[in-house]
Amino acid sequence: MSAQRCRCQSCMIRSLTGPAIVITIGLLFLLHQVHGRYLYFGNTWPILLLVIGILQLGAALASREGHVDPAATVPPVPPVAPPANPQQTPYGTQGQ
């Protein structure tokens, strides 16, 4: 049984945050390698914060029409049968 994923615009933008961060870090390190004198990572890391902020703002402003709540998609736990007990005598093996 596969879990149903939300396809609303807000969740779609949020799902792009991780890949956007990885791509931005890669581009910043590439700029550091190519133009290290002017564009080294110590000067360009705030761009990463801008990318994260822009994606968070876009997700907050995007439509949530058709949003699927993840808690609502969890199937109920099936009941468990009680364990089978062997036949017990009233006093068992006490005093033998």
pLDDT digits (tens, 9 = 90+) for 13-62: 999 999 999 999 999 999 889 887 888 888 888 999 999 999 999 999 99
Reported pTM: 0.64
Count of positions (residues) in the chain: 96
Listed residue (13, 3, 23) closest to 64, CA to CA = 13
b (16+ CB within 10 A) / e for 35-57: eeeebeeeebeebbeebeeebee
* CA distance linking residue 35 with residue 26, whole number of Å: 14
Which pLDDT score is estimated for 16? 92
